[in-house]
A and B are shown apart, each in its own frame.
Chain A
């Protein structure tokens, strides 16, 4: 596979469940990102990893927990979510330095019941 892949593509979970989103990039990039996309709102940057170290955490609630075991993989662990967390979660990757654009995965459509 090429580019950025995300699994699952769709996820429905209850407020008490624990689930994880997975992202994998095949582009040799060294930075990876989690974004939240909600209707009529700008993309919200949640977390940034550069060289497997977290470099940004934009005031995201602790019920979202990222993990970056290596430069190709990124996870978002979810627990005790709220209905307002329902959104499209997008993963992206890029080279951290320089003028490189970000490449996005197809997203995981999350619904919290």
Chain B
């Protein structure tokens, strides 16, 4: 079975500081990994994905994530946080044998960026 763990319910960061939202995964074989963001009263928006190749993936709004196979992690990062980045962030994983429907999400991490 595949799963994702987001160990932090909430991350607090001051604007301008770097941010990290943690994600670890469990899957048979090599994973496909995704990050989504959810703003209040909105659905999930795709941020970025890791399929293969370079371990550092760049996505929307200046976010990036680093795939670390030995640590089974895919942490989301941004060099300089903005107040507008405050939202709920979800990590998701699927294995390489299934279809697009076989996507497992974490419980989400709320990012709070303050002035």
Contact = CB atoms under 8 A, between A and B. Distances in A.
B101 A48 contact: yes
Nearest to B49: A101
Interface size class of chain A, counting residues whose CB lies under 8 Å from the partner chain? 20 to 34
A72 to B, nearest CB: 17
A55 B46 CA distance: 23
Contact of A42 (B41, B51, B104): B104
A50 B101 contact: yes
Contacts of B101: 31, 33, 45, 48, 50, 55-56, 96
Interface string A4-16: 1010000000000
A102 B49 CA distance: 11
Interface stretch (A60-68, A78-86, A103-111): A103-111
A29 to B, nearest CB: 9
Contacts of B4: 42
Given A50-B101, A95-B100, A43 B90 contact: yes
B43 A96 contact: no
Given A95-B100, A99-B49, A99-B51, A42 B106 contact: yes
A102 B107 contact: no
Interface string B73-115: 0000000000000000010000000011101111110000000
A106 B100 contact: no
A76 to B, nearest CB: 15
B45 interface: yes
B41 A100 contact: no
A97 B100 contact: yes
Interface in B28-69: 32, 34, 36, 41-46, 49, 51
Interface of B: 4, 9, 32, 34, 36, 41-46, 49, 51, 90, 99-101, 103-108
19 contacts: A33-B101, A42-B4, A42-B108, A43-B90, A45-B101, A45-B103, A55-B101, A56-B101, A90-B44, A91-B43, A95-B100, A96-B101, A97-B100, A98-B100, A101-B46, A102-B103, A104-B44, A106-B41, A107-B43
Interface of A: 4, 6, 31, 33, 40-43, 45, 48, 50, 55-56, 90-92, 94-107
